[in-house]
């Protein structure tokens, strides 16, 4: 299956899809120097959230999918050089609303988990401008 959404997402910051099927996705991301926030090599949580969000969008895989809400937990720190893998699985789909469970791991240890409420809109959220 090919991605149908977020086609211009920068893989350096959102990750790269390694598996994609109906209702699920796996995305990998390397923690790079641009993500570091201190001298210890700590990665800013926004990049981990972005990875998880991207995985959730790919699990829904509709060109008009948007994130409505998320309930998340950061479980362990991520460091420079870590290789993250986010696994997203649709756990409920009712009409336009899709609930997606996402877990991110480093070396098989869970560092992040969350539930993402995604919505498939009738048209792109930006209308005509965003569809170009």
Is the separation of the CB atoms in 90 and 59 below 8 Å? yes
State CA 29 to chain mean position distance: 10
Which residues, in sequence order, are CB contacts of 6 under 8 Å at separation 6+?
Answer: 14, 54, 57, 58
Residue 12 CA to residue 29 CA, distance in Å, equals 7
State CA 125 to chain mean position distance: 18
pTM: 0.94
Topology (CATH level 3) of domain 11-131: Thiol Ester Dehydrase; Chain A (3.10.129)
**Chain segment 2-24, per-residue pLDDT in tens:** 999 999 999 999 999 999 999 99
Domain boundaries defined on the chain: 11-131
- Banded model confidence at residue 131, pLDDT cuts 50, 70, 90: very low
Looking at residue 132, the DSSP 8-state letter turns out to be -
């Amino acid at each position: 299956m090919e991605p149908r959404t977020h086609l211009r997402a920068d893989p350096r910051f959102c990750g790269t899809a390694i598996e994609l099927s109906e209702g699920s996705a796996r995305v990998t991301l390397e923690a790079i120097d641009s993500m570091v926030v201190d001298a210890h090599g700590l990665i800013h949580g926004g990049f981990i959230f972005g990875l998880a969000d991207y995985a959730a969008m790919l699990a829904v895989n509709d060109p008009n999918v948007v994130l409505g809400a998320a309930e998340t937990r950061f479980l362990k720190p991520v460091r420079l050089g870590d290789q993250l893998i986010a696994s997203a699985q649709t756990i409920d789909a009712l009409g336009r609303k899709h609930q997606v469970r996402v877990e991110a791991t480093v070396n098989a240890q869970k560092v992040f988990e969350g539930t993402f409420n995604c919505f498939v809109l009738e048209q792109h959220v930006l209308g005509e401008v965003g569809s170009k």
